[in-house]
Amino acid sequence: MPNLSTVEDTLFVPMLGRIYASEKFPKILHDEKALSLKPMLPANLKGQDTQTQYTLLASAVRSSNMDRYIQDFMKRHPDGIIAQLGCGLETTFYRNDNGKTVWYEIDLQDVIEYRKTLLPESERDRYFAGSAFETGWIEEIRKSFPDAPVLATASGLFYYFEENTVLKLFQDLQAFGNIEVVFDTVNKSGMKRMSKYMKTVGHEDAVMYFYVDRIDELVSKVGGSCRAIKEEKYYSHADRSGLNGGTKFTMWGSDLFSMVKMIHIGV
């Protein structure tokens, strides 16, 4: 087990959610690879005993949402590249591999080294150790695929960074052409709920900053060639059959006030 920072340590939260959904609510998400990794995870993970049905499924729904965007991108761009920013222990490649698309997994050195012990690198699932907010990863992609369309995904990542850091990333990417970005976020009121969520999963020390009230406001702040593609309510596609009343109500309220959402932009 590596010595992970506060933010890096949160990489286990979505893994626990994917395992829970796969065992209890496979209509929301079924992740065979995550299930196979369950015996290999550390025994005493933070938040393992404090999470609720809602907090566990919130992570799984994010994975399901990302799957939809990725599959749509691969249909539109069979020659495209998928880049997972802050990949952590994501098993997205194994759920969506179409047999030909090349993926890049980007995260900090210690996370990548740990990831390799559980999910070995392959020819079409390549690893890049470095910051998602620097351009080294896209420079690496452009060396091999100078003109390929790129979909950069960021699952549960941007919350932890100041707005100017996230905006600068989008602005920097404009120099590399033909890139889309999809990520989950909250609006300002949803930020308070997200902070409460982090306490529930045992990570109250992971401070959060970034939020998006409206996609058009974000696009305006980024400027340049940035364009809005889609803003979507987070739980709009989630199968809620069999969930307890509290979970259903929280999902309904979140969507009603757009507290959590998916954002898809072109940069």
Residues 1-15: tens digit of each pLDDT: 455 554 445 778 899
Note whether 185 and 159 are within 8 A (CB): yes
Note the pLDDT of residue 8. Answer: 47
Note the pLDDT of residue 199. Answer: 63
One digit per residue, pLDDT tens: the chain, 267 residues? 455 554 445 778 899 999 999 999 999 999 999 999 999 888 766 456 678 999 999 999 999 999 999 999 999 999 999 999 999 999 999 999 999 999 999 999 999 999 999 999 999 999 999 999 999 999 999 999 999 999 999 999 999 899 999 999 999 999 999 999 999 999 998 887 776 666 666 656 667 889 999 999 999 999 999 999 999 999 999 999 999 999 999 999 999 999 999 999 999
- The strand pair at 260-266 and 179-186 is best described as antiparallel
3-class state of residue 96 by DSSP:
helix
- The CB density around residue 92, as the number of other CB atoms within 10 Å, is 22
pTM for the complete prediction?
0.92
3-class state of residue 152 by DSSP:
strand
Sheet bearing 150-154, strands edge to edge: 125-129, 102-107, 81-85, 150-154, 179-186, 260-266, 227-233
Note the pLDDT of residue 13. Answer: 85
Note the pLDDT of residue 6. Answer: 45
Note the pLDDT of residue 233. Answer: 97
Q: Please give the DSSP secondary-structure letter assigned to residue 122.
A: B
Q: Please give the DSSP secondary-structure letter assigned to residue 154.
A: E
Note the pLDDT of residue 220. Answer: 98
Note whether 4 and 110 are within 8 A (CB): yes
Note the pLDDT of residue 200. Answer: 61
Note the pLDDT of residue 208. Answer: 82
